[in-house]
Amino acid sequence: MTRFVDVPTMAKMIQAIGIDQFIEDLADGIEANFVRWEEFDKSPRFGAHNEVGVIELMPTANAERYGFKYVNGHPENINHDLFSVMGFGVLSDMATGYPMLLSELTLATALRTAATSVMAARALARKDSTVMALIGNGAQAEFQAIGFHKVIGITEIRAFDIDPETTEKLIRNLAEFPDINVIACGSVAEAVKGADIVTTITADKAMAQVISADMVEPGMHFNGVGGDCPGKTELAAGVLTQGKVFVEFEPQTRIEGDIQQMPADFPVNHLWKVLAGTEVGRDSAEQVTIFDSVGFAIEDFSALEYIYTQSVQRSLGVDIELVPTPIGPKDLFTHTGRGQLRSVKRKVV
């Protein structure tokens, strides 16, 4: 049988664990798998693009388990009261090929994206960071703010969005976290000035320069999340050349990340090596560090592992027969009759 976790079940799981603890647990789980980086099969995600968006499949596996995520990215969906990003995923047993888990990954992707951000910042940002600029206050913003508060110790969020109502939404939703002081800013420059960490999570599918070179200050850590597909960037080239750039899976980031605008030999550093302790992250307090985040399959694999464990331990979700339960290892045909109504014999008197 396959464990099935739908959106209401995921919401129950988040409430039971606590959203901040959920993000921290995921950050730890993703980091543990990044340290095991060389044990995983890795490839850029497969994407089907058109003029309005993309649908992607993100697979990976190690010796024990196989996982994949189906995810879309359609920025214009917000104009039709639809989410821009939605997903679901499957975790399977490598020994038998049987699916262990079918789960929603829309809520979980927001959580794992925040978890990946704080995992990178924990390794790269200055340890005394308390102020973060949050550029783009849409569906991902609350998760980033809560994760950075819980794991990094951010207490002040300087928020900006081209839609002021979106920033108001952010402030309203974060009211239950009184230790996070959210300040609405009138421009990107105002939000970024004096920030220790700058997180960009804009949705426009364009080669944008949300952060310009003149906004960079010594010691800043940039968490570039929104530049995550071909033809979509947030950081100007002049930002990238001022710091040390870290990536997840380089072949994918060269295509999808902010570094897609740079020459093919533009130097990058591999985040997994920093987490494994084989390379140095930040070299000094004054150095600028940049995490060119695009999202990689190992992060979703880690989320699926966590969801499966929690769903079993907490008795959340249901078991479904996603694939046939064997009647006999060579008899599939009999399953075709399982949905038939049995005939009822009537006694004639």
pLDDT in tens, 99-148: 999 999 999 999 999 999 999 999 999 999 999 999 999 999 999 999 99
Alpha-carbon span 194 to 156, nearest angstrom? 11
pLDDT value at 207 more than 90: no
- pLDDT value for 58: 97
Strands (E), the chain: 2-5, 46-49, 54-61, 65-73, 87-93, 99-104, 131-135, 156-160, 181-184, 197-200, 207-211, 221-224, 233-235, 244-247, 269-270, 289-292, 318-320
Residue with structure tokens 């609405």?
A: 184
Structural element, H or E, at residue 112: helix 106-124
pLDDT value at 305 more than 50: yes
- Fold agreement (2-107+299-324, 126-295): no
pLDDT band at 344, cuts 50/70/90? Answer: very low
What is the third-level CATH fold of 126-295? Rossmann fold (3.40.50)
pLDDT band at 271, cuts 50/70/90? Answer: very high
Catalytic residues: 228
What is the third-level CATH fold of 2-107+299-324? ornithine cyclodeaminase, domain 1 (3.30.1780)
Domain coordinates in residue numbering, the chain:
2-107+299-324, 126-295
pTM to 2 decimals?
0.93
pLDDT, averaged across the chain: 94
Q: Is 263 exposed, middle or buried (0-12, 13-18, 19+ CB in 10 A)?
A: exposed
Tokens of 265: 């030999």
Q: φ and ψ at 4, to 5 degrees? A: -115, 125
